[in-house]
Structure 1
Amino acid sequence: MILSDYDINGMIQMKRLIIRPFYNDMVRENGIDMRLASEIAHHKDMGSDFVMDPMSSNEDIKKCFKIKRNVKEMVIASREQVLLTTSEYMEVPDDVAGFVELRSTWARHGLSMPPTIIDAGFKGTITLEVINNAPYAIKLRPKQRFAHIIFVKLQNKTGNTYAGFYKGQRGIKLPQVLK
């Protein structure tokens, strides 16, 4: 069951769903709009001979990204993939999951974002993987409404709340090493 604004507001009032900072205009008809934080991670140009091995080490992964913090604007070049993050921290109850989507206005400008799942019990900010498919650069600014989360009620509480690599993240969290 997809949660309505009534359901979401009730969960927030009962402190079952925690969002900080919270703005009243975040809650939409059937989801929540999330804003961008002032942080962006660009891929570094490692040269055409470089091969990223996602099973190597965290240090190798860190070498491939440049994270900029406290930026006033973020420019995504044409055909570039970047990591962004929400300014809001959230704690999701153990009987709710979420689907994070790009707000349609940004998709109409040429941006895309692979689907992101928020598992039951997740706590943290949301790292967003964004691709600019447009033939021109696109400028984003912190605090702009950017992503939309649709919450779904699980039939039962999960027996295994989220305890993965990204639990408790604040800001952009680079990819984990695959095992």
Structure 2
Amino acid sequence: MAILSDKDIKQLIKEENAVYVEKGPELDEELQVGPSSIDLRLGYDFTFPQTRKMKALDTKDMDDFSRKQEDMKATAEEGVVVHPGEFVLGTTLETVNIPNDMVARIEGRSSYARLGLIPHAAGGFVDAGFEGQITLEIQNLGNVPITIYPEDRICQMAIETMTSEAENPYGDKKDSKYMGQKGATEARLDKEKR
């Protein structure tokens, strides 16, 4: 596998519509495309678990968990405060469209990590054939609240080529439960085969 260069990322965006924006400021390739990755911006949608209302999170009762979520929209001017130890779901402004012969990896940007903010805690692997916004698992590991702002470059995505095209790309699988996701999408464990 090989990581795409800036030149290849720009070509992939142009020819395959691999990264695009449906609502908000257009993609700024000059600012967002780095030597071997593309910065993705924070979107406007957030989901905050209401942990004070939960006894425990039961992975076999996701309906109870879903009822204890608070959705919120924020603007680029007001931002969202993430308190120490708090875990918040966010989303990317950009929608990604990964070709069937490539995969992507989402990582937090070091400028945010140096503040104690993890913009993408886990789930950073994006399968071949996936299309949708990326849900970000945001956590403040620091000791002070941090305000984050939609439209800011919060994470980066590296794209890699696979040895061949996927036989069953993400959208073709029966349990492609996040295909086409928009906004901060909560866990869908109840939709997968166990």
TM-score, normalized by length of structure 2? 0.85
- Deviation at 1:16? 5.4
Paired with 1:159 and 1:16, the residues of 2 have a C-alpha distance of 21
The reply on whether 1:150 has 2:158 as its aligned counterpart is: yes
- Deviation at 1:47? 4.5
Secondary structure of 1:85's counterpart equals strand
Question: What are the ranges of 5 or more consecutive residues in structure 1 without an aligned counterpart?
Answer: none
Paired with 1:114 and 1:70, the residues of 2 have a C-alpha distance of 21
Q: Give the total of aligned pairs.
A: 177
The reply on whether 1:74 has 2:86 as its aligned counterpart is: no
Paired with 1:99 and 1:86, the residues of 2 have a C-alpha distance of 14
8 Å CA contact retained: 1:95, 1:156: yes
- Out of 155, 161, 168, the residue aligned to residue 160 of structure 1 is 168
Structure 2 match to 1:135: 143
Q: Which moved more, 1:60-69 or 1:162-171?
A: 60-69
- Deviation at 1:126? 0.3
TM-score, normalized by length of structure 1? 0.92
Q: CA RMSD in A?
A: 1.5
Paired with 2:100 and 2:146, the residues of 1 have a C-alpha distance of 37
1:132–1:18 CA distance, 2 compared to 1 (3 A):
closer
- Deviation at 1:44? 0.4
Question: What are the ranges of 5 or more consecutive residues in structure 2 without an aligned counterpart?
Answer: none
- Per-residue deviation, residues 115-147 of structure 1 (Å, max 9, x unmatched): 411111110000000110100100001100001
Paired with 1:89 and 1:23, the residues of 2 have a C-alpha distance of 14
- Out of 91, 98, 119, the residue aligned to residue 97 of structure 2 is 91
- Deviation >4 Å, runs of 4+: none
Aligned residue identity for 1:90: V
Structure 2 match to 1:22: 27
- Deviation at 1:70? 3.8
Structure 2 match to 1:53: 58
Secondary structure of 2:39's counterpart equals strand
Higher helix share: 2
% identical equivalent positions = 28
